[in-house]
């Protein structure tokens, strides 16, 4: 579990570093009407973390122990493959403020870590599975792992946005 916490921390620090100095106008700028702004990406990450925390809590409350095959969740890092977010995790239209979204992201991370840190034996996360919209039954430890892999995917997307000539600050 310690590795989870380190990966969650490291990935979130990367995200905050990428967005914290952006002016709100750039944060909300869209390169295309069909693409998300950096702000919308961050709003999506907040929604996703909130939903993942709820799924983990649901699994822990149900406490149905089952052996679930490990899924190839690392495929989420392959950005050559488009993945449509479930409607429930789609971002709002904004506009958003950098400070506002950083606070939402901090709050959702505190909530997630609060759930994980209340557990005496974190190995239970490997024994409980909850249905995921993309991976079907997914063990709770893989839900946590998927959260930071998903965030890494979007950090790369943010870096791509920032490298475009029309996104110069």
How do residues 43-68 score in pLDDT, each as one tens digit?
A: 999 999 999 999 999 999 999 998 88
Which residue segments constitute the domains of the chain, with CATH numbers given?
2-24+35-167 (1.20.120)
Q: Per the structure block, which two tokens stand in for 154?
A: 């979007």
> Which helix (DSSP H) or strand (DSSP E) does residue 4 occupy?
helix 2-19
**Alpha carbons 143 and 135: distance in angstroms, whole number:** 10
**Residue 53: what pLDDT?**
98
Could you tell me whether strands 129-132 and 136-139 are parallel, antiparallel, or unpaired per DSSP bridges? antiparallel
Kindly report the pTM of this predicted structure.
0.94
Encode pLDDT of 85-117 as tens digits. Answer: 999 999 999 999 999 999 999 999 999 999 999
Encode pLDDT of 136-147 as tens digits. Answer: 999 999 999 999
CB-CB contact of 31 with 39 (8 Å): no
Q: Which residues have CB under 8 Å from 75's CB, separation 6+?
A: 81
Tell me what the pLDDT averaged over the chain comes to: 93
């Amino acid at each position: 579990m310690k590795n989870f916490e380190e990966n969650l921390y490291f990935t979130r620090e990367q995200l905050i570093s990428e967005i914290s100095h952006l002016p709100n106008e750039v944060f909300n700028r869209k390169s295309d009407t069909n693409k998300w702004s950096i702000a919308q990406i961050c709003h999506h990450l907040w929604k996703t973390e909130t939903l993942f925390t709820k799924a983990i809590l649901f699994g822990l409350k149900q406490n149905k122990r089952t052996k679930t095959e490990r899924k190839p969740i690392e495929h989420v890092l392959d950005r050559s493959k488009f993945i449509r977010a479930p409607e429930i995790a789609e971002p709002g239209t904004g506009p958003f403020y950098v400070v506002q979204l950083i606070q939402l992201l901090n709050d959702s991370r505190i909530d997630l870590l609060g759930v994980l840190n209340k557990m005496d034996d974190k190995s239970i996360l490997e024994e409980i599975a909850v249905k995921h919209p993309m991976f079907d039954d997914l063990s709770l430890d893989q839900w946590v792992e998927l959260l930071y892999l998903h965030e890494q995917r979007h950090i790369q997307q943010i870096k791509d946005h920032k490298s475009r000539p029309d996104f110069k600050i």
